[in-house]
Amino acid sequence: MTARQLKVNEVAIVLQKLVLHQASKCAVCGHPFTKRDGAVLDHNHTTGHVRGAIHRSCNGAEGKVRFKAMLCHTGISSEKFVIGLGKYLEHHSKPRINLIHPDHLSKEDKIKLQRRKRATKIKSRRLEK
């Protein structure tokens, strides 16, 4: 069976049907579509085959992962890269090395930084007047 190429004016209709078929949830993350992060028609960039309706952000993430796999690991498929990444993150879901990265900011540190930025902004506004 050969696949038929969609016409540009058919994309919205196919997307709408897929969203309904997927119960208005992203095929990647399973979360509902929102106005802020709406559905896009995802497709395989090698074959052109339509895969499903996914969030715009999930589509961007998928593209970045595919690109990263291509750049870093010549010969590794993006599927193997994602599986490896998943295993790595699952393995490290609990701390295994008792060290904190120097760039990490705790929630309290982030709040302090926001307050300092706000105070600096207010101070600079006063000096401009």
Provide the 10 A C-beta neighbour count for residue 115.
10
Q: Answer whether 20's CB lies under 8 Å from 47's CB.
A: no
Per-residue pLDDT, 82: 86
pTM of the model: 0.67
pLDDT at 52: 95
Q: What is d(CA 39, CA 57) in angstroms, rounded to the nearest whole number? A: 9
| pLDDT beyond 90 at 1 | no
Ranges of each domain in the chain: 8-91
How does pLDDT run across 25-80, given as a tens digit for each residue?
999 999 999 999 999 999 987 789 999 999 999 999 988 888 877 777 667 788 88
**pLDDT score, position 125:** 73
d(CA 18, CA 24): 8
CATH number of 8-91: 3.40.1800.10
Measured CA angle at 63 (ends 29, 34), to 5 deg: 40
Summarize the confidence of residues 105-114 as an average pLDDT: 91
What pLDDT digit, counting tens, does each position of 14-35 carry?
Answer: 999 999 999 999 999 999 999 9
Q: What is the pLDDT of residue 73?
A: 64
Note the pLDDT of residue 74. Answer: 66
14-20 CB contacts, 8 Å cutoff, 24+ apart: 14/41, 14/50, 15/39, 15/40, 15/41, 15/53, 18/50, 18/52, 18/53, 19/53
According to the model, what pLDDT value does residue 15 have?
Answer: 96
